[in-house]
Amino acid sequence: MSMKGFPVKVRSMESSVLRRCGCCGVAILAVLTLSSCGMNRAESLVRSSDVIPEHIKSGAFPDSSVMGELAGEVCKSEDDILWWDDFSDQSLTSLMKTAFVSGYELPQVAMRLRQAEAQAQIASSRFWPQLSLSSSAAGQKTEGGARPTAFNVDEYYTAQGNLSYEVDIFGKVKAGADAADYGVLAAELDLDAARLTLSGRIYDTWIDVLESKKIVEVVQDQIATSRVLLELTEARYRRGTRQALDVLELQRQLAALEVLLPQAEERKALSLNSLVVLTGNAEVGAVKDFYETSTFPELPPLPAAGASLELLNLRPDLGSTFLQLRASERRADVAFLDRLPSLTLALSYELAAMDIHNFAETVVRQISAALVLPVVDGGRRAAEQDRQEAIADELRNRYIQSVLVAVREVNDGVVAEHFISQSLNTLKRQEEIARRALAEASRRYENGLVDYLRVVTALQTVQQVERTVVSEQARLLKNRGRLYRALGGRRCESAVPVETEEGK
């Protein structure tokens, strides 16, 4: 049974081979796995494209040919995710540093990495023999019998050392350790993804603050201009050269602007509150230096944007999902291998005595080997194997879906860049035309050719376009940030850049 060209139920490679080959094949495969399954992150991610069905790979990555070129060869290093440096804004850079150092979101993800590392240590501990030491002292007093007044006191002292080791015949311990190691690598990428996500939220909120600040400034200028016009019109009305309707129209227009001011102030205050929380502070004054003197940054050149197989290595969220898939496949192997015999070697050494001063009067040495084969367990182990394989199949499909979403995000960013740039250019031309129309309407009104309503309408158009330009500039900047993050936060040089109106 299949869905959309790829199998719904997919068995992991190791488990499939194990079932086909039997115990001998298991032993051979276990030896091969010991030497071939490294835990290097880059090597683990190179084969991530193998999971993607061919029809999706050819459709989503039409220009990709070889997966061997890793991200480090075509992009900046893994540790360099400072995509915001392209905007060359010191306030933004300082804001990011403050949030990363003082915030409380990244430490939560870092603690999950610490948990994964501890779990890996627990899993790898089974490679080592387990040694335990114990000692005991017991006393017994016996009274009665033929002579009620007589009693005996017996003492018994022991000291024992136990050494046990599970021989990893079929690679079950190795598979469990591999799963835990993949979990550590996935947690590392989760931390990278959390940094990327947090940087995006900070950037978007910072742009929101700057947009609200700019809107407040624009509205304040527009209110000042409208008040001057209103005062002039009222003065002319008192001299009888203006009509009452002219004054009322300007008063209405001024009131409409004054309504916009508190709304813009509210948006600015709410954005600042969000910025304060993201930086791990409790007062707005803590982020004052990051926005008071800042303006919209200059838009950097469009990054090399194109969906290629390199995207699988650039996006930490994709890498994490793939490594979780790897871990689940190894856990499915553990569940299968748990149904095979296990061999445990044990060595014990015991000293016993009836008198503490003669502690070593009895020495017991014991060597044992226990071979355990599960026979009847009510189907528990088989059900656990099926459960783990279902988890692996779920993660496989989730990974493919995540790849498709990642490709869509890149394409969305490129498309949005193109059309927002077009819209912004059109708005700027519209603003220029609206200003000329306002000047012409004012001149014609002074000559008595049009009524004052035409002047007020032209003024409203200019003011509306001014505010729309600010909002569109903010939308373009926020989309550029989303595009950087869709590319994994790194700046690649190998893909073909997409031409926009702004870049022509």
Each of the 504 residues of the chain gets a pLDDT tens digit; together they read: 333 332 333 334 344 333 333 433 333 333 333 333 345 555 555 556 677 777 666 665 555 433 333 233 334 444 455 888 888 888 888 888 888 888 888 999 999 999 999 999 999 999 999 999 998 888 777 665 555 555 566 788 888 999 999 999 999 999 999 999 999 999 999 999 999 999 999 999 999 999 999 999 999 988 988 888 888 878 878 877 767 887 888 888 889 889 999 999 999 889 888 888 888 876 777 677 777 777 899 888 877 655 556 666 778 999 999 999 999 999 999 999 999 999 999 999 988 888 777 776 788 889 999 999 999 999 999 999 999 999 999 999 999 999 889 888 988 998 999 999 999 999 999 999 999 998 998 888 778 787 777 888 888 899 899 999 999 999 999 999 999 998 888 644 433 333 333 433
Phi, psi of 354 (to 5 degrees): -90, -10
Q: Give the domain CATH number at 171.
A: 1.20.1600.10
Task: Enter the tokens of residue 54.
Answer: 């061919």
Q: What share of the chain is helix, strand, coil (3-state, %, to 5)?
A: 65, 10, 25
Instruction: Name the one residue in this structure whose structure tokens are 């991200």.
Output: 71
Whether residue 219 is contained in a domain is answered as no
Whether residue 305 is contained in a domain is answered as yes
Whether residue 262 is contained in a domain is answered as no
Whether residue 35 is contained in a domain is answered as yes
Q: What pLDDT score does 42 carry? A: 52
* Cα–Cα dist 75/455, whole Å: 55
Whether residue 113 is contained in a domain is answered as yes
Within 8 A by CB and 6+ apart from 109, the residues are 190, 191, 194
Whether residue 94 is contained in a domain is answered as yes
Question: How many domains does the chain fold into?
Answer: 1
Question: What's the domain range around 15?
Answer: 2-130+164-211+282-486
Q: What pLDDT score does 103 carry? A: 85
Whether residue 154 is contained in a domain is answered as no
* Cα–Cα dist 251/501, whole Å: 40
Whether residue 75 is contained in a domain is answered as yes
